Amino acid sequence: MAGPRALCRGCGPPDASAAQQISLDQALEVSPRRSADLVAVDDALKALAAFDTRKSQIVELRFFGGLSVEETAEVLQIAPITVMREWKKAKAWLYDELANKTKS
């Protein structure tokens, strides 16, 4: 099982010098293009989950969760080499899925 550090990567104190203050209105602004991109990524991830659950879990843990290969392997109880192989395939699958959507 992953330790607290693995599950809370990036939860440490923020670097105040790198922080930029913005208003709530600014934070809620999403351009139409960015919104469409987020919807396309979400749709592609849902399609990947329907096609291969483990690959979608790896994408979620690695990309959105920020876990390393070793941490992802520990969470999913698979070998790190399997994570690397599945991560590579998942990225290629998502790239193709997103590329095909932009052609439509």
1.20.5, 1.10.10, 3.10.450, 1.20.120: CATH of 52-104: 1.10.10
Check if the beta carbon of residue 59 is closer than 8 Å to that of residue 94. Answer: yes
Q: How confident is the model at residue 3 (pLDDT cuts 50, 70, 90)?
A: very low
Distance CA 14, CA 12 (A): 6
**DSSP structural state of residue 21:** -
Residue boundaries of the structural domains of the chain: 52-104
The 10s digit of each residue's pLDDT in 69-99 is 999 999 999 999 999 999 999 999 999 999 9
Which residues touch 74 (CB under 8 Å, ≥6 apart)?
A: 1, 2, 6
Token digits of residue 7? 């599950």
What distance in Å separates the CA atoms of residue 93 and residue 55, rounded to the nearest whole number? 10
Largest CA distance in the chain: 44
pTM higher than 0.85, yes or no?
Answer: no
pLDDT tens, position by position, 32-75? 666 778 888 899 999 999 999 999 999 999 988 999 999 999 99
